[in-house]
């Protein structure tokens, strides 16, 4: 029976039963962490062969580059070929970086602050700089723009991607809007993949700012959960070219959740004009990134088909975890009508919407029962969820048994917070 259909007496009886259950959970002394989307040990073990993928005689690349030495600013050709297939761009439109795409995104914003974008006024010299932020979204994106004092504007996410009516209107009228953060495939945290129409509307934007850029973080481009249920997305660089906006997008990716987080390789793909501008900074910043690690990845996977086979092994590990969470939500919360959640086909997260005004309370209750969740509000700029409802669920890191326990705690806390709210409302 839905809570909204219960009498006050029924709500009180339900509250007492749920509170008793919660107190039992508190007494179990649980210590579970669902706060970040980290791979678990079994996933990390999948890439151990990469540690021994190279021998002393394997360190010269196919173009005669000794990967032990300086040089090759934009990455060895083998790594370019591998990640260009992953990110779906031409080999000559990609730069291979170090271990983190987040670092590349930070550098891209920092460069725009100090040196502008392809000849534009450096953002630091402008009175106001703004970014559009689809919400709920990725907290580390928002942290970068907040760090640089960039004003962030919430744009609601729909089932098709960001609200494009709002995006089109804002960027066409406000020259101070310089960018938009996007996780276009298996979005963090909702798991939504942008529709073809959304991608085409992005490519056809007519921004007032000539230095406006789409920050297209394709973090989960090959992170499918199901072989027979995979999302597909139009390639944004190609669509921008067709629309006459070849320079409008920066596309990012990495192997952080493919091989070893912190020891992967990252890349940016963009137009030739953008890349030429970026390389001017790179020649000052570095003599070259870790080519041994680039070559190690190539030797381990062989080619992109090898990478896809590797990702099937990841899916086999984490798919049951996603299904464990969804089964718990379907069983415990769906009949009560007090929450909504996404059912992603890939990525690393499930987005849960509690009753308005309850997310902080749910996260606090979970913590007091031994389960650490991502902080309520983290999926919004400045950590402020105006509805206080969204919680990002990260199923990958705990073991399946730990996850089952965590789901019992989570669903109990959602019930308890929801009942507290309803009882307060019916007591007016």
329 and 226, same structural domain?
no
In a domain, 33, yes or no: yes
124 and 39, same structural domain?
no
Does the pLDDT at position 169 exceed 70? yes
In this predicted structure, which of 26-30, 34-38, 305-309 has the lowest mean pLDDT? 34-38
Element (H, E) at 419: helix 400-426
pLDDT at position 340 is: 98
Read off the CATH number of the domain in which 154 is found: 3.40.640.10
| Cα–Cα distance for residue pair 267/100, rounded to 1 Å | 8
Write out pLDDT tens, residues 199-237. Answer: 999 999 999 999 999 999 999 999 999 999 999 999 999
233 and 375, same structural domain?
no
- How many other C-beta atoms can be found within 10 angstroms of the C-beta atom of residue 98? 18
Element (H, E) at 341: strand 340-341
In a domain, 24, yes or no: yes
In a domain, 240, yes or no: yes
Write out pLDDT tens, residues 114-132. Answer: 999 999 999 999 999 999 9
Counting residues of the chain whose pLDDT is more than 70, the rounded percentage is 100
Q: What residue has token string 């090898």?
A: 306
| Cα–Cα distance for residue pair 296/76, rounded to 1 Å | 11
Q: What residue has token string 């190539």?
A: 298
Work out the angle at residue 144's Cα, subtended by the Cα atoms of residues 290 and 195, and round it to the nearest 5 degrees.
90
In a domain, 56, yes or no: no
Cα–Cα distances in angstroms (integers) from residue 294 to residues 60, 218, 286, in the given order? 12, 19, 16
371 and 295, same structural domain?
no
Range of the domain at 268: 61-302
Read off the CATH number of the domain in which 403 is found: 3.90.1150.10
In a domain, 211, yes or no: yes
Q: Can you name the residues that pair with 254 across neighbouring β-strands?
A: 266
Write out pLDDT tens, residues 222-276. Answer: 999 999 999 999 999 999 999 999 999 999 999 999 999 999 999 999 999 999 9
In a domain, 50, yes or no: no
314 and 173, same structural domain?
no
Does the pLDDT at position 428 exceed 90? no
How would residue 27 be classed by pLDDT, with cut points 50, 70 and 90? very high
Number of domains in the chain: 2
Q: What residue has token string 């744009």?
A: 155
341 and 244, same structural domain?
no
Q: Is the peptide bond before 189 cis (omega within 30 degrees of 0)?
A: yes
316 and 176, same structural domain?
no
| Cα of 20 vs its chain's centroid, Å | 37
In a domain, 245, yes or no: yes
389 and 261, same structural domain?
no
| Cα–Cα distance for residue pair 133/182, rounded to 1 Å | 8
Counting residues of the chain whose pLDDT is more than 90, the rounded percentage is 97
Does the pLDDT at position 175 exceed 80? yes
pTM (2 d.p.):
0.96
pLDDT at position 313 is: 98
350 and 236, same structural domain?
no
pLDDT at position 56 is: 72
397 and 253, same structural domain?
no
67 and 9, same structural domain?
no
The dihedral built from the CA positions of residue 20, 24, 25 and 26, taken in this order, carries a sign that is positive
In a domain, 316, yes or no: yes
Domain limit, last residue, from 302, 319, 342: 302
Does the pLDDT at position 408 exceed 80? yes
Domain limit, last residue, from 302, 331, 347: 302
CB 82 within 8 A of CB 62: no
Q: In the predicted model, what is the mean pLDDT of residues 335-361? A: 97
pLDDT at position 426 is: 84
323 and 206, same structural domain?
no
| Cα–Cα distance for residue pair 238/68, rounded to 1 Å | 35
Domain limit, last residue, from 302, 328, 347: 302
Is 243 strand, coil or helix? coil
pLDDT at position 98 is: 95
């Amino acid at each position: 029976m839905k809570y909204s259909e219960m009498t006050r007496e029924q709500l009180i009886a339900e509250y007492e039963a749920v509170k008793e259950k919660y107190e039992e959970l508190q007494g179990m002394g649980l210590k579970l962490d669902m706060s970040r989307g980290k791979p678990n040990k079994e996933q990390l073990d999948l890439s151990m062969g990469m540690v021994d993928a190279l021998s002393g005689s394997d360190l010269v690349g196919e173009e005669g580059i000794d990967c032990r030495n300086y040089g090759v600013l934009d990455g060895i050709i083998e790594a370019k070929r591998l990640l260009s297939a992953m990110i779906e761009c031409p080999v000559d439109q990609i730069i291979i970086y170090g271990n983190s795409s987040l670092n590349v995104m930070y550098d891209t914003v920092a460069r725009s602050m100090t040196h502008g974008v392809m000849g534009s006024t450096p953002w630091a010299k402008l009175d106001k700089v703004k970014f559009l932020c689809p919400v709920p979204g990725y907290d580390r994106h928002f942290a970068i723009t907040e760090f640089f004092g960039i004003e962030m504007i919430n744009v609601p996410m729909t089932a098709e991607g960001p609200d494009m009516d709002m995006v089109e209107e804002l960027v066409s009228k406000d020259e101070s809007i310089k960018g938009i953060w996007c996780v276009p495939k298996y979005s963090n945290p909702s798991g939504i993949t942008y529709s073809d129409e959304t991608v085409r509307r992005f490519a056809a934007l007519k921004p007032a700012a000539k230095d406006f850029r789409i920050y297209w973080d394709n973090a989960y481009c090959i992170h499918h959960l199901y072989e027979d249920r995979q999302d597909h997305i139009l390639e944004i660089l190609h669509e921008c070219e067709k629309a006459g906006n070849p320079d409008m997008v920066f596309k990012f990716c990495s192997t952080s959740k493919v091989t070893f987080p912190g020891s992967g390789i990252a890349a940016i793909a963009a137009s030739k004009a953008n890349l030429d501008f970026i390389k001017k900074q790179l020649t000052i910043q570095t003599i070259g990134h870790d080519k041994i690690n680039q070559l190690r990845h190539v030797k381990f996977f062989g080619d992109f088909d090898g990478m896809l086979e590797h990702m099937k092994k990841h899916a086999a590990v984490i798919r049951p975890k996603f299904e464990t969470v969804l089964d718990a939500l379907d069983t415990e919360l769906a009949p009560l009508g007090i929450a909504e959640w996404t059912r992603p086909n890939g990525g690393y997260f499930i987005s849960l919407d509690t009753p308005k005004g309850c997310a902080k309370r749910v996260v606090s209750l979970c913590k007091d029962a031994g389960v650490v969740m991502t902080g309520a509000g983290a999926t919004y700029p400045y950590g402020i969820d105006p509805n206080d409802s969204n919680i990002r669920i990260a199923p990958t890191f705990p073991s399946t048994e730990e996850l089952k326990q965590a789901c019992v705690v989570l669903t109990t806390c959602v019930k308890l917070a929801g009942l507290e709210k309803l009882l307060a409302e019916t007591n007016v």
